[in-house]
Structure 1
Amino acid sequence: MPASEGPPPGGGFTGPDIGDLSDHELIEAMIGARRRASQAQAAELAAVAELARRRFAEAAEADAVDAISPRDYVHDEVAEALTLTRWSAGDLIRFATELTERLPATFAALAAGDIDYAKARTLWHGTDQVGGGLIARIERAVLERASVQTTGQIRAKTRRLIRRWDSDAVARRRAEAERQRGVRLIETDAGTTYLSGVDLPAEEAAAAYGRINAIAAGLRRDGDARTIEQLRADVFLSLLRGTLTTTCPPAEFTDRPIGESSTVPDWTDADDRIADAVADLTRAELTALTGDLPERHHNVRMLIAQAGERITASLAGLKARWCVPGHDGSYRPSAAMRRLIEHRDRRCCFPGCRRPVRSCDADHSVPFHQGGPTCPCNVAMLCRRHHRLKQTRGWRIDHVWPGVVLWIGPTGHWRITAPADRE
């Protein structure tokens, strides 16, 4: 099966000799199995929804003397059949009925295996305050790329579209959620606990986390041997208990929420649209290339890499306006350039990674010591893990256009990310 970024194939390995498969075939087996699992889950949801509809119809005709109406006992029927708690059965019934009735395109995508169960639930949750006329419009826009996006990307895109098309729905949902705010203490199997603030106002919570993070970072720089995660947890508890010896963050700390970048007017919505268009054209060209390859082509990774290089080279002249004169000899981006790149990339440029740019490295796609320039067309934000992954044998990237990054894995499977994908 040629490697591509398109929807997963319908086939896949089902026999016992999985050890005989190549690495490429193992990836295809995973994709095929996920597709079949999605189809099976859609069949379950369809059955649950149909049973619920029948019981709801019976409830309208039920005799008043019945102790429990069919509308209520369908929860018990589903719970018993699937060995669920009654609460879980109720949630499943609501999801199944609303998905099949309110979000038919999403259900169809699940039934076809183009998206999985978690993605369907993400779109369902994300549209629960949206009016009927707008839901189909959001579905169409989100499902265009949902097969190759993570739940985090789908959630972010859904929120962005709702903000653009129905700002009142955003306000309604936020107000309702904040009315349900609280604090939860949940015991784990290890004998520890989760202590969490739930449905807190976003800005205040981000500022609180920023303060905890800054104090922990200051302690770390002062030589504290605990990991940064341990320090955050200990600072969090000490602040709440009033036992922290210092509550002063380092001098460079600001109350800017984590992940927020200063507005840089040099990268605009129009530039986002151009980057999206470049990404779409690159996907189309690579998909056409891999579609013509035989099932077990042994050089698919090399051919994808060569195609990526050709596309990148063909756009070199158009990218010239992003290059910074006189900065080629400098390894580190200037403060202004870094702000522009942070504003453009939003998050780590690895497919599906949600790490905010403030926690990322400004990485040269073509290494600086190999002649890679320090400019927005060659520098992208990568979290430390994916910065290291990019340098690992078998992985490579091409910075096709400012913010548009082609990732090629060891098996020849590839993905392209663009700025709008990372919102």
Structure 2
Amino acid sequence: MPSRTPRLLRDSDALRAAMAARAAAEQAERDVFIAAADWAIAHVAGSGDVAGYVIDTGMMLPLAGPGAPEVQEHAVTEFITALGMTQQAGSFYVGHALEACVRLPRVWARLLRGELAVWQVRRITEDTIPLSAEAADLVDARIAAYAHQVSRTQISNICRVAQEHTDPGEAILRQAREAEHRRFDVWLGQTGFDGTVDVSAILDQPDAADLERAIAALAEQLKKAGSEDTLNVRRAKAAGMLARGEQALPLEAGTPTAAAGPSHSRHLTLYIHLSVDAVTGALGDVARSEASRSPLGIDVIKAWCQTAGTTVTVRPILDVAAERYSDAYEVPDLMREQIILRDHTCVFPYCRRPARSCDADHIDPYESGGPTASSNLAPLCRKHHRHKTHDGWRYKPAGPDQPGVYLWRSPHGVRFRRDRHGTTLTVVEPVETPEPDGG
């Protein structure tokens, strides 16, 4: 039986309350989407400005399609950070709002009248951004009246027909690009607590058939070698063995042996740290993988280390709270390693880029007297390093007793608290814009 007593006794009251709340939520989302378009148009990039792009997609894509204005990069970052969005997701969001507002005026008008939800508009803009201005206008004219009920397949078909009608030559090039959709993705950044990773691919049929035969053969050899795992587990293990050039032979029950020929052993580098929480058990049996930025069960790490053919390197203990200094501007390797292990990622609000691929930023600029010291260094990805240096973003450590905790302020006064667990918005209402200074 539910422990909570419903606050509304009549079903009709409950339904009306739910419907009203849903309508309010949809209108609030419209208001945010409209604000994104207004913000973009108010911050059009000039000749000397860096324009915003959608990044981390394998290429730098414009926010919106041909004919839409370019937007100042730092303005895009401030808006999406204030909303708690990552750089990539937020750039797509602003781009879709700009696309709809500028290039799909009929669809946009229906959104303003409350006839379309944001998600209905965004699934159209996803397909129209690559189109020419003429093709996008044709899609807008054909789709606006029934945008509330059109399917994704219908949207794609309408966009394809519009492109072929307005620019046959471009349509041929687009078809050629679409044919080059083969890929092989290993989602290391999304490792599960049990240490597993999703793998997905689109291959040519002959390549896929060869891969299937190789994995099936290795899975069968594992079975003959005495493995009691299910077929699915044996196939998963076979994929890893295939990558290392291993082959299961029935020499000892359940023991895979490296065959003659190329073989690559598994190598693990472990950073061992002890803290008060670890000693007292407050953290539980949890480890962290730097490659995946995900928590892992400690038993998973043990199992990896015990796998045949695995070599393990245990790095010396490095106190991430210790203060280290250098007289030079360049950051010594040991100090760089310390801030990587301390902060894990870029410390800009909501950014998740691994610290190992970031710059070591002097929080107080070196040329202004800021020391090369652990407490004055933090990892910033190149994009957010540029925002801090040139675009008015400021941050500081929360205090000497809180290593890895940073307090940020945007150019328009929005404040954030960033630590290894994530970002917290600490001041909602922007305050007076600070005067820019060097950094």
| TM-score normalised by L of structure 1 | 0.37
Of Structure 1 and Structure 2, which has the larger fraction of its residues in strand? 2
Structure with the largest fraction of helix:
1
More relative contact order, 1 or 2 (CA 8 Å, 6+ apart):
1
Larger radius of gyration: 2
Task: State the TM-score, normalizing by the size of structure 2.
Answer: 0.36
